[in-house]
Amino acid sequence: MPERAAETSFGRASGWRKRLAGTWLHPLHIARRSLARVLARARPHVHGLTLDLGSGGKRYESFFPLVSRWVSLDLPSNSADETGVTVFGSGLCLPFRDGVFDSVLCTEVLEHVPDPARLVDEAARVLRPGGCLVLTTPQTWGLHEVPHDYYRYTEYGLRYLAERSGLTVEAVEPTCGIFATVGQRLSSFLFFEWGGRRPVVVQGALALACAAGQLTAAGLDALFRHRGDPLDHMLVARR
């Protein structure tokens, strides 16, 4: 997929493009900002001995100061960021005993799992009684990590998966609303479809256009109180 390939190239680039991270000039700023906002609200639920399931580069470790020990699990991959991975393994058959973790964190992974019910079963199995699963996954996003991109999830699909695994759902929270969703999808399409490896001046102009569009979309989204179809949901469920 051109968008995903360009995003990977963008993330690894040196120079001025790296400095766009965390600013409105970054073509994925709404998605990253919205996800970070809801994960910050989940801090009280992620503590003690924590399993980061499908962790990649442990992007969100710094969000959770109550974690006493961080266990990072991911599949081995030549293309993934394996820095800091504690255990290589599959979320469909976790190499841990029952009831060992205080928390399980799973961010933007479930859409890539061919058997999502089994993954949620495994997360529930390794949680101690009272432990929490915090999970985020898209409802509205383009194909990525193809061909391993299988599903998109509504609030009700996430509730069903958690409850069938014996978990009690405490919250399912959208990361944003329809205006932010549309603004983010247009921004990412504009940059990654037309920017890619074009000259710096072209990419700079596209980054400015992305910033203007994302700022407008985020402002409208806040005005309408994040109503409508979101980019992602965050599930908080307790064993």
CB 94 within 8 A of CB 122: yes
Residues 136, 105: Cα–Cα separation, whole Å? 9
CB 4 within 8 A of CB 144: yes
pTM: 0.89
CB 158 within 8 A of CB 120: no
pLDDT in tens, the chain (239 residues): 334 434 444 444 445 556 778 899 999 999 999 999 999 999 999 999 999 998 766 788 899 999 999 999 998 874 445 667 889 999 999 999 999 999 999 999 999 999 999 999 999 999 999 999 999 999 999 999 999 999 999 999 999 999 999 999 999 999 999 999 999 999 999 988 887 677 888 888 999 999 999 999 999 999 999 999 999 999 999 99
**Phi and psi dihedrals of 78, rounded to 5?**
-70, -20
**Phi and psi dihedrals of 60, rounded to 5?**
-105, 10
The SS3 call for residue 197 is coil
User: Measured over all CA atoms, what is the biggest interatomic distance in the chain, rounded to whole angstroms?
Assistant: 55
Q: Give the domains, in start order, of the chain with CATH numbers.
A: 2-27+178-223 (no CATH), 29-176+228-238 (3.40.50.150)
CB 32 within 8 A of CB 215: no
Residues 197, 9: Cα–Cα separation, whole Å? 8
CB 145 within 8 A of CB 89: no
Residues 236, 70: Cα–Cα separation, whole Å? 19
Instruction: State CA 197 to chain mean position distance.
Output: 25
Instruction: State CA 103 to chain mean position distance.
Output: 17
